[in-house]
Amino acid sequence: MGWITKWAWAVVLVTTLAACNLTTSSQLTDTPTPEPLTSVPSATPTSDIIPTNTLTATATFTATVPQPPTAVLPSCIPRVDWKQYVVLPGDTLFRIAERGNTTIAELTTGNCIDDPSKITAGQILYVPNDVATVTPRPTQTPEPTATLRPDERLEAYAILSGDDGTQGPQVGCGDSLILQSLPIARSEYAAENIETLIAYFGTAPEGTNTPSSSADFYNPLHGYNLSVDSITIIPGQVDVALSGEMILSGVCFDAILEAQLVGNILYLANVNNARITLNGTNLISYFDMSGDAPDDYVYTRDKFNLPLVP
C-alpha cells in the first residue's frame, strides 16, 4: 500500500505544478493590450478679434522739451517830453548826438528807432538837449568846390604815389601823404569831419597810383563802405569804432590804405594817439601779420611820420 500512496502524491504534485504553469501562462497571455490614447479636445477661447501681424501695437514715446516762455517786451514809448528836432539833409544820428551832447543809444531808445542808419530829412526826433545848428549839406553829393571858399573846405591827407616823402610824410613803398583841400565842407566838429571824410573817400574817384604830376593823387579807400559807429575824443587821444569790410591786397597797398585812414583820423582829431576798432576788433590786427599786436593797441603819429601835436 505504501507505494500506492507515494504514487498518488506524485500524481497530485504533477497536477498541481501543471495547474500553476497554466495559471501563470494565462496571466501572461491575457494581459489586456492598452488602448491607444485619444486626444481630448480642450476648450479653446474664442474671440471676435482676428489677430493679424500688421496690427502689432507698439508703444511710441515722444520727448517734449519744455520751451522757455517768450519774453514780451513792453511797447516803446517815444520821449515826447523831450525837445523836438527836425532832421536836416546830410544829418546822421551820430552827428545829431554829437551836436546835442547825447549818445546814439539814448536817441534810438527815446525815439523807438530800430535802425540808427535810417533817418530821413524832415523827420522829427525827440532830443534831450538843444542840438547845435550847422549848414545843411546834401547827403550823397558833396558840394561843388566852386561854391566853397578855401576856408570852408575840408583839408585832409591824400596819397601821392612814388613821391617817396619828398612833399609829405613818407608811407608805404615810396609814397607820400600830402595835405589837400577837398571838395567837401568842413565842420567845426572834429568827429563830424572824420565821419564825412571816411564816407567821401569811399565814393570819391580812385585816382591813379602812377601819377604824371604832383596833382595826380591815389585814393586807396575808394570802394570801401566803412561806417562810423562812434567817435570819442579826449585830450591827446581819439577812439573810433568802425564797421564794414576791410579788403587787403598786398604789403604796399595795405600800407597806404592804413596810412590814409589812420593818418587822417589823427590829423582831423588833432591828437597824437588813436585807438581804432573795426567790427569790434582792433584795426591793427588787420594789418599786422605777425599777430603780436595787443588788443589795446594805440596808433601814434610816429607810425606814419606825421608831425606831433604840441
Q: How far apart are CA 13 and CA 19, in angstroms?
A: 10
Long-range contacts of 282-288 (CB under 8 A, 24+ apart): 283/242, 283/258, 286/246, 286/248, 287/248, 287/254, 287/255, 287/258
Q: Give residue 147's pLDDT.
A: 74
Q: Give residue 141's pLDDT.
A: 45
Long-range contacts of 202-210 (CB under 8 A, 24+ apart): 202/226, 207/158, 207/159, 208/161, 209/159, 209/161, 210/161, 210/162
Q: Give residue 226's pLDDT.
A: 93
Pairing of strands 83-86, 299-300: unpaired
Q: Hey, how many other C-beta atoms are within 10 angstroms of the C-beta on 184?
A: 21
Cα–Cα separations (whole angstroms), residue 195 to 8, 98, 157, 282: 159, 12, 15, 18
Cell numbers describing residue 24 = 501563470
Pairing of strands 237-243, 273-278: parallel
DSSP structure class, residue 71 = P
Q: Does domain 83-127 have CATH number 3.40.50.300?
A: no
Q: Give residue 216's pLDDT.
A: 83
Q: Give residue 117's pLDDT.
A: 66
Q: Give residue 157's pLDDT.
A: 96
Domain boundaries, the chain: 83-127, 145-304
> Is the pTM higher than 0.85?
no
Q: Give residue 236's pLDDT.
A: 95
Q: How far apart are CA 257 and CA 170, in angstroms?
A: 13
Q: Give residue 202's pLDDT.
A: 92
Task: Give pLDDT < 50 ranges for the chain.
Answer: 1, 3, 7, 14, 17-31, 37-40, 42-43, 45-47, 49-50, 52, 54-55, 57, 59-73, 135-145
Q: Give residue 208's pLDDT.
A: 83
Q: Give residue 90's pLDDT.
A: 67
